[in-house]
Amino acid sequence: MMSHKNDNELVFLPLGGTGEIGMNCNLYGYGPGAALSKTGGQWIMVDLGVTFGRHSDPGIDVITPDIAFIEKRRKNLLGLLLTHGHEDHIGAVAHLWPRLKCPVYATPFTAALVRGKLAEAGLLEEVPLHIIEPDAHLEIGPFSIDYICLTHSIAEPSALAIEVEGGRILHTGDWKIDPDPVIGKLTEVERLKALGDAGIDAIICDSTNVLTPGRSGSEADVGRMLEEVVAESTGRVVITTFASNVARLTSIAAAAMKSGRHLCLAGRGMHKIYQAARETGYLTQFPELVDESDAGYLPPEKVLICCTGSQGESNAALGRMANGRHPHLTLEAGDRVIFSSKMIPGNETEILALQNQLAQIDVEIISPNGSDIHVSGHPCRDELADMYKWARPRAAIPVHGEHRHLIAHAALAAELGVEEPCRVHNGDIVRLAPGPTEIIDMVPSGRLYLDGSIMTDQQSPAVKERRKIAYNGIVFVAVPVDAANRLAGQVEVELAGTPLDDGMVKLTDWVLDAVERAIPSNGKLTPERAEQNISTAVRGELSRRWGKKPMVVVSFVSV
């Protein structure tokens, strides 16, 4: 490995994406040892992505990494480098850049996607966005950085070779080895081998498919299969896929042209990717598109619709077609819907519900199970073996995976001869060089919730209250009082999210009984104490009779 000539250390700090899939955010620091975790050193950030809220986070659509550590040291943050344009790598840039105010570096296609997000946030003129070539060489402070072309399920995926005095590492980003990627360059194997020859202290590597044997497959094979499936279809064909996969859009367009069908793109995300791809020189052989408002008038056998909604999103184009809410496009018996996408863990319920809606109207569903209409964008075990053979790193740090993936990846790296496989978690500061590779410190890490347009932390009282309301409902109790704080009229009760009062269920009466017992016989109320007593009494009564403890809001109304 590289010889060490000074007292500085190169460290790695993941703030998101390690121990989870999504929300990738990684920091590399260089400076004097332990001081790096305090105030010293210089830093670069690699990727700044999002994940998406689940049912357990009501009202939260977008979740970002908590970047408090580097926000406090932003004067030492030299730049944000983006490896590719997927949401889990760029989705938080517009939300969090005002807290960082650093230069941003991206290749043309990724930059086009980021520009769109910055424009929506009103930041386009503020952010110094540097557009670089896919094989760019950058000198940023003490960091010498080379972008290396890989293949993935989006245009222009890049690994980063990051070098400082005394250390050299390879950050892969998301990747696979695709021998025929349809668009873009092949994996730059010779450059990876040359890095291995020069000596790599550590590889920070994608773990998503480490549990899957073999290879992930080629986009070209998917294209050929889609052509066959579309050609044999007799009714309307709808293909839903990840909008960001420009190679897949290319194959879908080819299938439409070969089968004599007009192509329609449906869904905002699909149109955004299409525009970004056209702006940056992709999709040059794309056929003329049919507008959504016109596609519904075409004979079913003459139309192919490529749309968003592959993950069961009810408001995406496919979801609206399935439930009859799309303003222009409809589905009917004999149509065929092709899911050219994987089922992302956590989305199973929504996807199966959508497929059941489609089945109910006798639409034929074709999914990737047992067919070649989708391939992953991440490396399976044989591809990981190839990467380790080329790079020959001293240490391996698995990222971009849940804990089971990280454990399996570290074990595989050891099998492949890596001296120092190192399993880390978000918040761990890992010394990469000079060796040995080890965790030397830990900093707070977590999540930020985007609640509408307001950013809050994951301990948000609002989200906790929504969970309570979602599970147990809410009871409003209005208590009329006079100037002397005595009960001065009839208590009013309003219920929300609870069973309706009927012959057997009398929640309102139960609440009023509990309130009556909680109010002193003389009617004299001390508001703060009375509020607690009434709330406790109501929750206890409803727990006994109903089996649930709803949120209780007590208010005192002057009369």
Residue 338 pLDDT class (50, 70, 90 cuts): very high
Each residue's pLDDT tens digit, 73-122: 999 999 999 999 999 999 999 999 999 999 999 999 999 999 999 999 99
130-142: average pLDDT = 97
33 pLDDT exceeds 90? no
2 pLDDT exceeds 60? no
What is the predicted pLDDT for the residue at 257?
96
DSSP tag of 34: G
39 pLDDT exceeds 70? no
Residue 36 pLDDT class (50, 70, 90 cuts): low
Pairing of strands 62-65, 447-451: antiparallel
Each residue's pLDDT tens digit, 222-279: 999 999 999 999 999 999 999 999 999 999 999 999 999 999 999 999 999 999 999 9
5 pLDDT exceeds 80? no
What is the predicted pLDDT for the residue at 34?
52
Q: Are 67 and 98 in contact (CB under 8 A)?
A: no
Closest CA relative to residue 163, chosen from 140, 181, 180: 140
363 pLDDT exceeds 50? yes
48 pLDDT exceeds 50? yes
What is the predicted pLDDT for the residue at 4?
45
3 pLDDT exceeds 50? no
528-541: average pLDDT = 92
Neighbours of 499 (CB within 10 A): 12
- Sheet of 364-366: strand order equals 262-266, 303-307, 237-240, 336-339, 364-366
- DSSP per position, 457-492: ETT-HHHHHHHHHHHH-EEEEEEEE-TTSBB-S--E
Residue with more model confidence, 40 or 14: 14
User: Helices 246-258 and 268-279 meet at what angle, rounded to 10?
Assistant: 100
Domain 473-558 has CATH 1.10.579.10: no
- Sheet of 551-558: strand order equals 492-496, 474-481, 551-558
What is the predicted pLDDT for the residue at 161?
98
Each residue's pLDDT tens digit, 464-515: 888 888 889 999 999 999 988 889 999 999 999 888 877 666 889 999 999 9
| Domain residue ranges of the chain, discontinuous segments joined by + | 8-214+376-457, 219-366, 473-558
Q: What are phi and psi of 469, to 5 degrees?
A: -65, -40
CATH of 8-214+376-457, one of 1.10.20.140, 3.40.50.880, 3.60.15.10, 3.20.20.80: 3.60.15.10
Q: What is the architecture, at CATH level 2, of domain 219-366?
A: 3-Layer(aba) Sandwich (3.40)
Each residue's pLDDT tens digit, 428-439: 999 999 989 999
What is the predicted pLDDT for the residue at 57?
82
Distance from C-alpha of 222 to C-alpha of 229, rounded to nearest angstrom: 11
What is the predicted pLDDT for the residue at 272?
95
Distance from C-alpha of 93 to C-alpha of 559, rounded to nearest angstrom: 52
> pTM here?
0.91
Neighbours of 289 (CB within 10 A): 17
1 pLDDT exceeds 60? no
One-letter amino acid at 433 equals A
Residue 526 pLDDT class (50, 70, 90 cuts): confident
Distance from C-alpha of 65 to C-alpha of 14, rounded to nearest angstrom: 10
Q: Are 266 and 239 in contact (CB under 8 A)?
A: no
The torsion region of residue 19 among left (phi > 0), alpha (psi -120 to 50) and beta comes to left
What is the predicted pLDDT for the residue at 453?
86
Q: Fold match between 8-214+376-457 and 473-558?
A: no
What is the predicted pLDDT for the residue at 508?
92
Pairing of strands 25-32, 8-16: antiparallel
